Amino acid sequence: MTITSPTVSDEQRAREAELVELVRRSFDGTPNERLKTLLSSLATHLHAFITDVRLTEQEWSAAIDFLTEVGHITDDRRQEFILLSDVLGASMQVISVNNEAYGDATQATVFGPFFVEGSPEIEQGGDIAGPAAGEPCWVEGTVKDANGAPIAGAKIDVWEADEDGFYDVQYDDDRVAARAHLFSDADGSYRFWAVTPTPYPIPHDGPVGRMLEATGRSPMRASHLHFMVTAPGCRTLVTHIFVRGCEYLERDSVFGVKESLILDFEEQAPGTPTPDGREVDHWRRARFDIVLAPAAATQTSNVEVTS
């Protein structure tokens, strides 16, 4: 979409174009070719935005105030810039660009801010919930490569919110809950107990939350269970599985939902035996078969601009 103002004269357009060119050329001497491309393109698109919407000085000032506030609220535990990137769909677009479609490879989605290194290892059929409250849910599937060959020993990290919509790291009691990792069997299969995912809001008590409110958008994320699957020679898969029927599938606040990742979390009739004989009143089950792309399908960059 291009917004054009009929009141802008050719002379004015020429002045604006001249400035863009001047800024672009200022990067001509950048030794790193990739950095030169990034900054030159950024200047082009940023100036196109400013001139397309005929940005007022008050609006630009408000934008700078907003970004300043995003910086001020950010600390070790709160990353408002990632939230901003998420709600603008930028995070999802970067993931899409870097996880190009490859055969039947499982689609990637946003990583999110709640992954923690060093989660507990569980055996096949173990329970990731720990002290997390929620409806028990049996999750099973296979990990295969793009040729359909099972992958043994793939590391499967899983994490999710509890039934109140909180990850363990959002509590201040150092609990470890609803996160674990396990390894696929020789035939690529895996299975574990989790809790049925429920919707939760992204943190919305800061500037990003205000932006969502001002635009009539919900901070809610569709119910999901996070996966990160790694195996030698394969592209690391970071994804979620989503609960079919969740009311937020169509308006996930970070645009993370992909149709192929929406699964049936089948409610089991009372008395239905569980796969491992565990006795629970009510439970669900979901099946998620994972296909990993080859590692060669991953993009890399040599740009380094931080010290």
Applying CB under 5 A, the residues found at the interface with Fe ion are: 112
Query: Taking the complex as a whole, how short is the minimal distance between the CB of residue 179 and Fe ion, in angstroms?
Result: 11
3-class DSSP state of 190: strand
Query: Taking the complex as a whole, how short is the minimal distance between the CB of residue 112 and Fe ion, in angstroms?
Result: 4
Q: What are the structure tokens assigned to 18, written together?
A: 């001249």
Query: Taking the complex as a whole, how short is the minimal distance between the CB of residue 162 and Fe ion, in angstroms?
Result: 11
Query: Taking the complex as a whole, how short is the minimal distance between the CB of residue 85 and Fe ion, in angstroms?
Result: 15
How far is 134 from 238, CA to CA, in rounded Å?
24
Nearer to Fe ion, 112 or 141 (CB): 112
**What DSSP state is assigned to residue 25?**
H
Nearer to Fe ion, 202 or 290 (CB): 202
Query: Taking the complex as a whole, how short is the minimal distance between the CB of residue 106 and Fe ion, in angstroms?
Result: 17
Contact 258, 222 (CB under 8 A): no
Nearer to Fe ion, 190 or 200 (CB): 200
Nearer to Fe ion, 112 or 136 (CB): 112
Q: What are phi and psi of 194, to 5 degrees?
A: -140, -165
> What CA–CA distances, in Å, run from 15 to 9, 22, 39, 109?
10, 11, 21, 42
Shortest-Cβ-distance residue relative to Fe ion: 112
How far is 288 from 241, CA to CA, in rounded Å?
8
Contact 242, 261 (CB under 8 A): yes
Nearer to Fe ion, 143 or 254 (CB): 254
Nearer to Fe ion, 144 or 204 (CB): 204
What does the angle CA 293 – CA 298 – CA 304 come to, to the nearest 5 degrees? 160
Query: Taking the complex as a whole, how short is the minimal distance between the CB of residue 134 and Fe ion, in angstroms?
Result: 14
Q: Where are the beta strands (DSSP E) in 178-300?
A: 179-183, 189-195, 200-201, 220-221, 224-230, 237-243, 262-263, 266-267, 284-287, 290-292
